Amino acid sequence: MKASRVFLFVFLIMMSLCLADTQPVNPQSSGTIYIRSDGIVEGTDKIQRNGNVYIFTGNIYDSLVVERDNIVVDGRGYTLQGTGTDNGIDLSERKNVTVKNFEINQFETGIYIYDYSDPCSNTISGNIIKNNSYGIYIESSNNNTISGNNLTNNDYGIFVAAHFNVFRNNRMVDNEQNLIVHGGDPADLTQYMDTSNTVNGKPVYYWVEEKDKTVPSDAGYVALTRCTNITVQNLNLANNGQGILLASTTNSTIIRNNIKDNDAGIILWDSLNSTIFENVIANNGIGIRIDGIFPIYSQNNRIYGNNITNNGTGMYIWDSSNNTIYRNHIANNGCGIHIIGLGGEVANNLIHQNNFVNNTADVPGYWHMIVFEEVWVPPQRNVWDDGKEGNYWSDYVTRYPNATGTDGSGIWDTPYNISENNQDNYPLMNPVVIPEIPDTTPPTISIISPENKTYTVTEVPLIFTVSEVTFWMAYSLDGQANNLIAGNTTLTGLSDGMHTLTVYAKVIVYPPKDIFGNMGSDTIYFTIDTTSPIITILSPGNRTYDTTDIPLNFTATETTSWIGYSLDRQANVTITGNTTLTELSEGQHSLLIHAKDVAGNTGTSETIYFSIKTEPFPTLTVVAIVIVAVVGAALLVYFRKIKKPTEVEKIPEGVM
């Protein structure tokens, strides 16, 4: 007995050592996880290494720092969860790393890519990135490929401050700012981003070296780099880093667009001879930014007839000269115009016949205008009137209570002082009448059902709201032709898989002189899953076992949210994967496994019937038989000896 126990103990130790030797990583305490430069994984036991491929085997609730080049990190659909700080996956100074198939939630930055050297050639694909401050952040890292990612509910979906990166099939939905491209040099603004990328269901138009074209009316984001003679008109552009970006672009026209809720409404960067007029520019961080670097800057642009309201800064002019800004309504902004020169020429901009109304810059004495000129830049002069008329300032009477009009001309007799070398010599007594800008604001549509989730039925109610009275409504499922509807309805016959639904609505715009239909839309993504997982039991099989402990091994055709087994029709026992059935009783047993997928569909295996028979070998019976056989043989020999005649007892010959 003692020998058998010792043998069992040694056997268990050997098995434990074998199992320990096959672990994929070195488990460590919780904290930041590392893939070190030598390939070792530190901080988790949920990453399986296979050569240069690192595969997640479960959800991880920490950051991942990659220190090794030329590898693939595959999330296999598992979640990387943070607490609102740090980077989810940090690829600082990495090259040729692929990150795919993750769900990344609640970090300061979902995926961070940073490297000053060229090229970096990292690939980010097939990830769901949501609820982060930045979804994907690329800084000084070039020639990367970003494809097939879904970015939702982040402060910034994709932030790019690098160049020559390739973007394909990325969907940015309901981020505070979906897409922002930033750079200190026009080269940083060169990206390869086609219309397969979308913001809130509308395509991105990122044109490089195009000319003589008009941006299509379905645009959700517009960037023009080294383009010539491009027209951007009648668009609704919202919730991006820039509504419209012009970089090193010339002779282009931006007209009658509705640009709201962006970091910057319109940016001119090293751009010349373009016209911006009759746009509604509201609720942006900066309404219009005119910017550039030596030796080009942004020059000779005309900005007129725009309604620039409720922005952090109405207009921002940096190192740019000889632009004309006139007949704009600039009201209720943090400051009207911010002019700054840092090493470049910021002079001779002609600013006249504008309305500056209730702009409240927090600089004493400058309620409408801030002119910053750093001490190393000589004082520079911009022009605030055309020699006849200047601008309307809503606080003029407060600042100059004793001023009077000049001979009924509508001009105040006292100049409006802005800063040293800058004053409006002919301030207007009354606001300028800005030509009426047509209402291009679309109705707001909100889809209530379906939601962005998985359904286990093929019929889903379509319920939505529209902010205005409409004369036309329709929906498009998976990019197919529009289906006209009169209101809420039901989507029927939905197939399994992911679906895209867009609801459209048009309203009539009045007055009658300007009738046209403004169209609004809302897009939602949802999934239909009506298929139950298929469970196959590998062990036990339909046979008899001579042990009371049997491995329970099985497979399921999809990811499960719950698994349980029922032995002999008893209550289900919840398990997380393969296990062992222990202390089974003698006799026949039945076994079923049930499993639910993430959508809630339940699958059940076929019933397995097996038996347990562990009776000891009948050694007593065998021994008894052997004893009887031996005794019987002995008796037979004995009797034969008794019956054998002796010499005396022999029968005489001839007798018979």
Q: What average pLDDT does the segment 466-493 reach?
A: 89
- Give the pLDDT band (50/70/90) at residue 14: very low
For the stretch 629-655, pLDDT in tens is: 666 666 665 666 655 554 444 444 443
Asked if 567 and 581 count as a contact pair (C-beta separation under 8 A), the reply is yes
pLDDT at 473 over 70: yes
DSSP for 272-311, please give it: BS-EEES-EEES-SEEEEEE--TTT-SBS-EEES-EEES-
Q: Do 257 and 236 share a structural domain?
A: yes
Mean pLDDT of the chain: 85
Q: Check residues 214 and 620 and name the one with the higher pLDDT.
A: 214
> What pLDDT does residue 638 have?
62
pLDDT at 174: 95
Q: Among candidates 527, 559, 374, which has minimal Cα distance to 454?
A: 527
Residues facing 136 on adjacent strands: 111, 158
Task: Count the residues in the chain.
Answer: 656
DSSP letters of 150-210?
A: EEES-SEEEEEESSS-EEES-EEES-SEEEEE--SSGGGG--EE-TTSEETTEEEEEEES-
Residues 357-383, mean pLDDT to the nearest whole number: 52
Ranking 70-74, 77-81, 116-120, 377-381 by mean pLDDT, the lowest is 377-381
Torsion, Cα 521 525 528 529, to 10 degrees, reads -170
High-pLDDT (> 70) share of the chain, %:
81
Predicted local confidence at residue 629, as pLDDT = 65
- Structural domain count, the chain: 3
387 shares a domain with 286:
yes
Burial (CB < 10 A; 0-12, 13-18, 19+), residue 574, is exposed
What pLDDT shows up at residue 451? Answer: 95
325 and 456 share one domain: no
| pLDDT exceeds cutoff 50 at 437 | yes
Tell me the pLDDT tens digit for each residue of 169-205: 999 999 999 999 987 666 668 889 999 999 999 999 9
Residue 23 pLDDT exceeds 70 = no
Residues 602 and 507 reside in one and the same domain: no
* pLDDT at site 31: 84
Mean pLDDT of 435-453: 81
Examine the fold and report which residue of 378, 395, 424 is the final residue of a domain before the chain moves on.
424
Same domain, residue pair 468 and 403 = no
For 563, the domain range is 537-611
Token digits of residue 195 = 């219309």
Backbone phi and psi for residue 176, each to the nearest 5 degrees, phi listed first: -60, -45
- Structural domain includes residue 398: yes
Phi-psi map region of 51: left, alpha, beta (phi>0 left; psi -120 to 50 alpha) = left
- 250 occurs within a structural domain: yes
Q: Which two tokens stand for residue 241?
A: 């880093």
For 391-433, the DSSP string reads: -EETTHHHH-TT--BSTTSSBBSS-EEEETTEEESS-BSS---
Same domain, 505 and 560: no
Mean pLDDT calculated for residue range 435-442: 66
Q: Do 382 and 517 fall into the same domain?
A: no
Residue 620 lies in a domain: no
pLDDT beyond 70 at 81: yes
Give Cβ neighbours of residue 505 (< 8 Å, ≥ 6 apart): 443, 445, 466, 470, 472, 473, 519, 520, 521
Decide if 625 is inside a domain: no
Give the per-residue pLDDT at 250. Answer: 94
Residues with Cβ within 8 Å of residue 87, at least 6 apart in sequence:
63, 65, 107, 108, 109, 110, 111, 112
From 540, 546, 544, 542, select the one nearest 614 (Cα to Cα).
546
Q: Per residue in 514-555, pLDDT tens?
A: 334 578 899 999 999 999 999 999 999 999 999 999 999 999
Instruction: With a cut of 80, say whether residue 348 has pLDDT above it.
Output: yes
Last residue in a domain, options 494, 528, 562: 528
| Distance between CA atoms of residues 366 and 276, nearest Å | 26
Is 565 inside a domain boundary?
A: yes
CATH code for the domain in which residue 587 is found: 2.60.40.10
Q: Is residue 116 part of a domain?
A: yes
592 shares its domain with 497 = no
Q: pLDDT (tens digit, 9 = 90+) per residue, 580-621?
A: 999 999 999 999 999 999 888 999 999 999 999 986 645 445
Domain boundary among 480, 506, 528: 528
| AA identity, residue 348 | N
* Rounded average pLDDT over 91-107: 96
| 8 Å CB contact between 501 and 474 | no
Tell me if 227 is assigned to some domain: yes
Is it the case that residue 27 has pLDDT exceeding 60? no
pLDDT class of 366 with cuts at 50, 70, 90: very low
| Nearest residue to 146 (alpha-carbon basis) of 126, 128, 172 | 126
Strands 228-233 and 253-255: parallel
Residue 15, pLDDT > 50, answer no
Same domain, 580 and 451: no
Q: Report, as an integer, the average pLDDT of 378-386.
A: 76
Q: Could you tell me if 503 and 607 lie in one domain?
A: no
Handedness of CA 485, 490, 495, 499 (dihedral sign): positive
Model pLDDT, residue 193: 95
Tell me the average pLDDT across 127-147.
95
Answer yes or no: is 96 within a domain: yes
Task: Answer yes or no: are the C-beta atoms of 311 and 333 closer than 8 Å.
Answer: yes
Q: Which residue has the higher pLDDT, 6 or 53?
A: 53
Question: Is 524 in the same domain as 545?
Answer: no
Q: Indicate if 254 and 401 belong to the same structural domain.
A: yes
**pLDDT category of residue 2 using cuts at 50, 70 and 90:** very low
In this prediction, residue 363 has a pLDDT band, given cuts at 50, 70 and 90, of: very low
